[in-house]
Amino acid sequence: MLKGKTAVITGASRGIGKAVALNMARNGANIAVIYAGSRDAADEVCKNAGGLGVTAKAYQCDVADYEVSKNVCEKIAADFGAVDILVNNAGIIRDNLLLRMSEADFDAVIDVNLKGAFNFIKHLARLIIKSPAGRIINISSVSGIMGNPGQANYSAAKAGMIGLTKTVAKEFAGRNVTCNAIAPGFIETDMTASLPQAVKEYADAVIPLKRMGTAEEVANVAVFLASGLSSYITGEVIRVDGGLCM
């Protein structure tokens, strides 16, 4: 489905990003794995992707840093020669009630989750535009649609990604580049594993499908949006939330 294409995935060493990277590799895409922390984890993703017969390379990057992101994107261009797909998945949480939230925690989440997406779109735009069918996929959240107490920073960043998605979709449509967002709900990842048991039980109770989703279920939608099957979809926000945000 993605054979011969090159995909750049930020935050790809674990969780949803890892699932997206490996799913795209299974579908034939070469993979640039962008990570912030563990080199070993990123190398493991590359090893697994390479075992599927594609090229995979890891790049450490603070996506919030404009110049560092630019340098990494230039390395990707030199290594792969082309970029067809960008998945902006890198994200952090610094949860607290607004009255207790520090400026540093608000800024950090906005910088990584929202500015990081801008940085990679900005620096890879010319390559993606050259693709016969460029695809940009932003991983937002249902928190960006409906808000969430204790997540003023995260909800604002994820809502911003939706606005960014729609604007990029309109600006790049004339170049045959689509830009869509995925809004996951409660997904079983390292991030949700640390939630108190009471919160997990509450989530299962309020989600119409009565369970958390998996990273693979999000990755399936990302592969669809990256493929030719979604060629007439742009500026859309697809919820993968078990019906939570209906």
Q: Give the C-alpha distances (Å, rounded to integers) separating 204 from 154, 194, 239, 241.
A: 22, 15, 17, 11
Q: Tell me, what DSSP letter sits at residue 77?
A: H
Helix (H/G/I), strand (E/B), else coil: 30? strand
> Is there a catalytic annotation at residue 202?
no
Name the nearest CA neighbour of 37 among 190, 173, 231. Answer: 190
Q: Are 46 and 31 in contact (CB under 8 A)?
A: yes
Helix axes 116-130, 152-172, angle to 10 degrees: 20
Helix locations, the chain, DSSP H: 15-26, 39-50, 66-80, 103-110, 116-130, 143-146, 152-172, 190-193, 197-206, 215-226
Angle at 70 between CA 67 and CA 74, to 5 degrees: 145
Q: Which of 35, 59, 66, 154 is catalytic?
A: 154
Q: Could you list the active site residues?
A: 154
